[in-house]
Structures are given as C-alpha cells and as structure tokens.
Structure 1
Amino acid sequence: MNEPLIEVSNLKKYFPIKKGIFNRTVGHVKAVDGLKFTIFRGETLGLVGESGCGKSTTGRTLLQLLRPTEGEIMYEGRNMVGLPAEELRKMRKDMQMVFQDPYASLDPRMTVGELIAEPLDIHQVVTGQERARRIDELLEIVGLNSRHADRYGHEFSGGQRQRIGIARALALNPKLIVADEPVSALDVSIQSQIINLLQDLQEQFKLTYLFIAHDLSVVKHISNRIGVMYLGGIVELANKQDLFENPMHPYTQALLSAVPSPNPLIKKDRIVLQGDVPSPANPPSGCSFHTRCHACMDICRIDKPELQDVGGRYVACHLYTNA
C-alpha cells in the first residue's frame, strides 16, 4: 500500500441548534461524529451512504471549508486543524473540490476563462500570456477547447459544465481532489464520460480522490476502497471487491441487497430496513444503527462499537467484537 496522504482521526462536525429570543444553543446536529480513516496517495476512496449521513460534510470538513468541532486531519504528516489562515491558504493549493451541482457551482457572471483562472489569480501562480496558455491547456485536458474560454456557463450542457469545474479544480496541480457526487446531477450517458475522464486524469496527474456518492455501481467502478457511512460515522471500510462479495456490517448488507442485478434470472434476498434514519440531532444510544438492525443484540443498545480491524477490513459492529 502507498504512503498515507490524509489521516483522519476522531473527526467531528456539530452544528448548533439555536432557539428562543436570545438565540441560545439548545442542542447540536451531529453531522460527522468521530470519523477515522486514511486516504493513501494515488488511490480513490469511495464514501457511500444514505442522504443526510454526513458524506458531503465530511468532504467539506476535510478541506477546511467547514472547520471541524473536534479531531485531527493530518495532511502529509501535518495537522491542518487550527492552522492560521495564511498557512491553510498555502496548503489549499494541494487540495481542490469538484461540486455536485455543475449549474450552481459556476458563477454566471464570469466567463469560463475567468472561472478557471480564478485560483491561478488568487495564488498568483502565473500571469500574462502564461495565464492564457494555462487556461487553454486545462480546457483541452478536460475535452473542451480554447474557444470556450470566452463563453459563459449557461451556454453549456451539464456534462460540459462539470468538465469546466474539473478544469478549475486542476488549475493548481493539486494532489487531492474531493469529488462530491460529481455525476449525480447528470444523465446516465454523460455520467460514464465524466467517470472515465476522472480516471484518466488520476492516472495522468497521479491524483488522489475522495469520491462521495450514493450510487453504489458508480463507486464500485471508480474506487479502490469504499467506506460506508451511517448517521455521521463509518460502519465498514474495505477493499471494493471484499465489500461487494462479502459485506459484513448489517447496514452494508442491506445496501447491497437493494442493488439491482443485471441478470433477471438471479434472485436476490432483499433486506428491507425498518423505520426511518434517526435524527442526527438526537442519535440513538449505543450503536447508531441498532434501531433498524435485524441482528440487534442487547449490547448494541448500550455500547457504541468501535471501528476495528476484522481480517484486513474495518467494521464497527458488535457481531465481530471478539472476532
């Protein structure tokens, strides 16, 4: 395995709930609650889970777009949490983000050239003719051409807009890209083009990805390892082949049982989860999944299981506490 690029430990992001005329804090939404994982240099770590489980908040907190409530984010051995603004600004050259909505993530008042050049201008990387050459080069890299630089975002299709967003993310030659559901707003035929582009760019520029999605087939296609999130925490983290062939956590088993099979002759036993996802403002005691788990035991209602190594993968479940 390659050396770690990002090491996250005990990462928490709580949002205050305020009420009353004095705007007092009466509770917290625990969007991310005690995450621990590593992203190795050159790999793609997929992050999946139901809507509202904290995937996007994790990505934004990783890049310090949201400051964490608690925990450590080690980037190349240096803790990013609590860094002064100027030092964090310098580190951000190495970390960029591709957003979910290609329609909302591009400023409609700026031309494509201005959008791509913005990070170059902020960090004062290149100027003059070199700046123009860099814009043209980035457009070519993502499958567009230099004539597009003078147009505005509304003149492009969704897939083309996402290519522009990817070009902007590549402008500073980053090492890490957080892709926050980058294909969920696109047509299925366009999704495959963007996924293939991301894979080609990863190989060409030695990029490392945190790929956030809810579509398991997409995550399986692009990821090396996959982390499954539930209610702000990771419940299973494994190599993609191991995860799909032998899911261990009951929540992972339920998710994979819902994936349609391309062969209609193959019958799958569907695990139907009962009830709704609990509120992150009032999570259950013990294991956060115990209210919907078909394998719930008494200890699950009391003690929160830790993410532990079980045969080369990581699982947070009392079924494997003594494994």
Structure 2
Amino acid sequence: MSAEPILEVKGLKTYFDINGGVLSKKVGEVKAVDGISFSMQEGEILGIVGESGCGKSTTGKSILRLIEPTAGEVRFNGEDIMQLSSENVRKLRRDMQIIFQDPYASLNPRHTVGKIIGEPLLVHGIGSKTERKQKVKELLETVGLRSEHAKRYPHQFSGGQRQRIGIARALAVNPKLIICDEPVSALDVSVQSQILNLMEKLKKEFKLTYLFIAHDLSVVKHISDRVGVMYLGKMVELANKDLLYDEPKHPYTKALMSAVPVPDPDIKQERVILQGDVPSPSNPPSGCAFHTRCPSCMDVCKTDVPIWQEVAPNHQVACHLYNETTKEENVI
C-alpha cells in the first residue's frame, strides 16, 4: 500500500431540499450525508454499513458527483473533485466507476450486452471499433460469461449474470477505484458468494480499490479490510474489520454486531435490542444523533455533538463515552 491515500473525503455533506406550499418554497432539508470524513489506500477494500436510509448509497454517489454534494472535499489521487468542471469530472470517471445495486434497473433493456459494456470505451475514445469489440469479448470471459453473450439483451440473463455484466462495464476502462453500491443485495445467497468471489479475484488481477457499500454485515466482513459504520448521515465508527467485529466501541455498532447470526448453535449471543425508530434525517436530534435510541445515553449526548477521535490504533469513533472530560464528569 502506498503512503498517499487514493481517496480522501473530508466533511462531506449532501442535503436535499424539501419544498412545500403553493409556491413550492423550501421548507426544510434532508441531511442525507452530514459531514463524514475518511480516507482509503490503494488496493484497499473499505466497507460501509448501516441501516436503510443512513446515507450509504448517497455517500458513494456524492463521491462520484452523480449527486452533487452540498459541501466538503473529495480528493482522488490528490485532486479535489469538487473543484473540477463537469467535463473534467467525466474524464476522471475513467479512473472511478460504480457497480449499481439493482442489476435489473441499471442495464438499458434496448441495448445489447456488447453495446452496454462497450459504451464506456466509446465515451472515453478508447480503441477502434474492432478493438472495442474484442475488449468486450475479453471482459465477458473475465467475469465468467461467454463472448457470444455480447449479442444478447439484458432480459435474457438471470440477476447474477446481469450483475456480472455490470461488473464488466465498470472494468471496461481499467479504473483504479470502484464504488460498489450494494452489489449483491438483490441477488440470491448462492449467487452472492459467486459475485463476491469474482470481485475478490478481479481486485487482485486488476489491482483495484473498492468502496463496498452494504447492509449485510457478514458480507462486509467477508470482503472488507476496514469497515465504517454510518448512522443518520454520520460516520460513528471506523476500524479494521477484525477490531470492529470483535471489539465494537460505539453502542450502535454493538447493537448491529449483536444481530449478526452465529452459525454455531452452542454459542449463546446476547442480543442488543434498540428502542424506538430511526429519527428522520429532515429533523435529526440535537447533540449525538443516536441519543434517542442509545442504552448508554448521558445528558451531554443530548446537547453536544461527539467529536471524531482515535480511541485505539486505527480505531476511530464518535461517542461521548470515550471523551476524557465526559468520563470524568460521569464518574460516580
């Protein structure tokens, strides 16, 4: 791994306006991503997990500027993506690609598989027509399909095969970073393992870096090097996967980990049941966003936003339980 991170995200915010009334004026905003920061080294797989609606997918799309962020900084190979023109962002997408969640919705039903996979090559002006056709055939075989499949249409394939087509399209321009937006959540369990194994194989073969977004904790543990946990638009914990799964620090992470099924029936696991529903991102709670459901909630949690700090080597968390002054104030 190189010393310089391939991707640096600082204070990323993505808000969506809520319009209402007769004149459709702005009456509020949804804070889908609310000031998250992390970095990634080349060749790393960083998993991002959290409940539905916590802002995982919006984070991935904001990094690529498929959704325009409200504020923050995203640096790819040292270059600030937020300052680039739309034309320069398009050129940069040769190095940054995405695999979408739904293999049924992300492929154009009117185009052949050959055209779908070859389109990125055409957009970026790579190769002649003959070279592009050859590249498409090679990509299909790389992802476990046959070269003659290039003449077929998406509806002629299963969900797993369609996701392989989506992966081939992402690989077409030899990117350095691939954002995987829940790439296996729409697939059967047996197919999920095939796609995950394929992605691991391709990572080594093409020296890829993955930002892997998912809500299945066992899938994330299987494929990731580090894991970040999101709650209501904020990153609450980030650590090496073994550290995070064996010694979770944040109360929300502990609750998530307690829900992961253990295959051994003799192991009795204590389940942490959270009370209440996830608050609305259009009206988040004051202080720590998790305080309304936290079993360890203190008075300071209701008023002060916890700072993002390192509590152990390569283990960061945003929680008042690990703030030294808070600890002293709450000693009885």
Report what 2:62 is aligned to.
61
CA drift of 1:82 comes to: 3.0
**What are the ranges of 5 or more consecutive residues in structure 1 without an aligned counterpart?**
none
Q: Kindly tell me the number of residue pairs found equivalent between the two proteins.
A: 323
Instruction: Provide the rounded CA distance (Å) in 2 between the counterparts of 1:306 and 1:218.
Output: 29
**Deviation at residue 260 of structure 1 after TM alignment:** 1.2
Q: Does 1:96 align with 2:97?
A: yes
TM-score by length of 1: 0.99
Match of 2:321 in 1: 319
1:255-306 residue CA offsets vs partner (Å, 9 max, x unmatched): 0011111111111111100000000000000000000000000100010012
Per the alignment, residue 253 of structure 1 pairs with 254
Partner of 1:77: 78
Matched letter for residue 140 of structure 2: L
Q: Report Cα offsets for 1:165-188 as digits up to 9, x if no partner.
A: 000000000000000000011010
Hey, what's the Cα distance between the residues in 2 that align with 1:198 and 1:227?
20
Aligned to 2:112: 111
1:118 aligned counterpart, secondary structure: helix
| C-alpha distance in 1 between matches for 2:129 and 2:97 | 24
Distance in 1, Cα, partners of 2:305 & 2:45: 28
Q: Cα deviations across residues 129-163 of structure 1 (Å, max 9, x unaligned)?
A: 11111010110110011110000000000000000
**SS of aligned partner of 1:93:** coil
Q: Residues 206-225 of structure 1: matches in 2 within 5 Å?
A: 206-225=207-226
Following superposition of structure 1 onto structure 2, how do residues 144-293 of structure 1 map, counting pairs within 5 Å?
A: 144-293=145-294
Q: For 2:72, what is the secondary structure of its paired residue?
A: strand
Tell me, what secondary structure is at the counterpart of 2:94?
A: helix
Q: CA RMSD in A?
A: 0.8
1:181-232 CA distance string (max 9 Å, x none): 0001101000000000000000000000000000000000000000000000
Question: Runs of at least 4 residues of structure 1 off by over 3 A?
Answer: none
Match of 2:124 in 1: 123
Code of the residue aligned with 2:285 in structure 1: it is P
Post-superposition offset of 1:126: 1.4
Q: Describe the SS at the equivalent of 1:4.
A: coil
Q: Which amino acid aligns with 1:47?
A: I
Q: Distance in 2 between matches of 1:267 and 1:34?
A: 38
TM-score (norm 2): 0.96
Cα distance in structure 2, aligned partners of 1:129 and 1:119: 15
Instruction: Give the secondary-structure state (helix, strand or coil) at the position aligned to 1:228.
Output: strand
Tell me which amino acid in the other structure corresponds to 2:161. Q
Q: Which amino acid aligns with 1:52?
A: G
Aligned equivalents of 2:120, 2:92: Cα separation in 1? 13
In structure 1, what residue type is equivalent to 2:121? Answer: L
Q: Which amino acid aligns with 1:232?
A: G
Aligned partners of 2:323 and 2:8: how far apart in 1? 24
